[in-house]
Amino acid sequence: MPVMEVESAPAVAEASNAAPRAAIRLAGLRKTYGDVVALAHLDLEVRQGEFFTLLGPSGSGKTTTLRLIAGFEQPDAGTVELDGVDVSRRPPYARDVNTVFQDYALFPHMSIADNVGYGLRVAKVPRPERARRIAEALELVRLPDIGDRRPVQLSGGQRQRVALARALVNRPRALLLDEPLGALDLKLRQEMQLELKRLQAELRITFVYVTHDQDEALGMSDRIGVFSEGRLEQVGTPGEVYEQPVNDFVAGFVGTSNVLERDGRRFTVRPEKIRLLAPGEGAEAGTVREVVYLGAVTRYIVDLDAGGALTVVSQNLTTTAEDAAALRGRAVSLSWRPDSAAEIEPKEERP
């Protein structure tokens, strides 16, 4: 399979001991819509060649951030830098980034080849070069023989691949993806997640990916920025964000978490880290209130004698649905390793 030439690729081949440079730097970004503060004050660096995900619920500021990077919106304050150059007031066409949307945004009256090559034609790339790069881009997304078709003749997954090819054919330094898999069914979405990771690793282009799906973010990203109410709550690797959340919001939004206060400590422990034991064998005593059998795992809700409740998830290595159900109403005890508990702070109150 041919590998597309990417202008930013040589930078990736710098000496291995050099610190990764910032492909995108956002400083003091603020954006409001009337009385609504979409972004309060955002400072963020995305490294060259990384897969960075903006994760958060609807209205948290992640899509606004992406639109500010793309140039579709202008910040009220702060700057957007691409490769060290301030582009805050440049229009979208003058920024070396491309965007992929959830709705594909393909031209229905054009062939697939013409859709993919539209930006090249606008840029007046000669026809032979344009044809070569269109074929290369379609090969890259594993759709080499569909150039003569129309978008209506393709499946949702194929249309999303074409949208990717169109975004990549111009060889951008960064690719911005706004919930691009949201319209696909679960199986196809999982397949496309693998394809996106493959493309990003192969091309070594910086990806900035917007999603509200925690599993998607954890499975695809080099680093994750967790957004809430127009602010960035935490930035870290998937492991750091999941296992060491900084506050209640991150702990509760990224996966399922339990928050407890004991002996003046406030901490979180993930359900899969907790062992369900016979009475007296663990540190916390309680009663199983609810049992949810999910095939590969079972989820237990345990009301604690000392107050509060914990969610426990156990693999069904030898447990049957009947075995799990039999624990409902039973006294149990719970235990976890000390390093499985991460101390957290309450989410900062916002003015």
Residue 168, burial from CB neighbour count under 10 angstroms (0-12, 13-18, 19+): buried
* 349 vs 60, more confident: 60
pLDDT at 4: 47
| pLDDT of 170 above 90 | no
Question: What are the structural domain ranges in the chain?
Answer: 9-243, 259-343
pLDDT at 279: 94
pLDDT at 18: 54
Among the four given CATH numbers 3.40.50.1980, 3.40.605.10, 3.40.50.1400, 3.40.50.300, the one describing domain 9-243: 3.40.50.300
Q: How confident is the model at residue 180 (pLDDT cuts 50, 70, 90)?
A: confident
Nearest to 268 by CA among 254, 279, 288, 278: 254
pLDDT at 12: 40
* CATH fold of 259-343: OB fold (Dihydrolipoamide Acetyltransferase, E2P) (2.40.50)
The pLDDT of 318-338, averaged and rounded, is 94
**Segment among 27-31, 75-79, 141-145 with least mean pLDDT:** 141-145
Q: How confident is the model at residue 6 (pLDDT cuts 50, 70, 90)?
A: very low
Nearest to 230 by CA among 83, 54, 110: 54
| pLDDT of 10 above 70 | no
| pLDDT of 297 above 90 | yes
| pLDDT of 263 above 70 | yes
* 5 vs 212, more confident: 212
pTM equals 0.85
| pLDDT of 336 above 60 | yes
| pLDDT of 273 above 90 | yes
pLDDT in tens, 127-162: 999 999 999 999 988 899 899 999 999 988 889 889
Q: Cα–Cα distance between 342 and 243 in angstroms, integer?
A: 7
Question: φ and ψ at 82, to 5 degrees?
Answer: -115, 120
Q: Mapping DSSP to helix (H, G, I), strand (E, B) and coil, where does residue 196 land?
A: helix
Within its chain, how far is the Cα of 243 from the centroid?
Answer: 16
Q: Cα–Cα distance between 164 and 170 in angstroms, integer?
A: 11
Q: Cα–Cα distance between 130 and 134 in angstroms, integer?
A: 6
Question: φ and ψ at 59, to 5 degrees?
Answer: 80, 10
Q: How confident is the model at residue 5 (pLDDT cuts 50, 70, 90)?
A: very low
Element containing residue 177 per DSSP (H, E): strand 174-178
Provide the β-strand partners of residue 333: 277, 285
| pLDDT of 103 above 90 | no
pLDDT at 62: 95
Half-sphere exposure of residue 127, counting CA atoms within 13 Å on the CB side? 0
**Segment among 15-29, 224-238, 241-255, 276-290 with least mean pLDDT:** 15-29
* 6 vs 195, more confident: 195
* 262 vs 332, more confident: 332
Nearest to 221 by CA among 197, 187, 199: 197
Residue 317, burial from CB neighbour count under 10 angstroms (0-12, 13-18, 19+): exposed
| pLDDT of 347 above 80 | no
| pLDDT of 14 above 50 | no
> 291 Cβ partners below 8 Å, 6+ apart?
298, 299, 300, 301, 324, 325, 327, 328
Nearest to 62 by CA among 82, 88, 33, 42: 42
* CA distances, 244 to each of 51, 218, 311 (Å): 20, 13, 18
Q: Cα–Cα distance between 180 and 164 in angstroms, integer?
A: 9
* Average model confidence (pLDDT) across the chain: 89
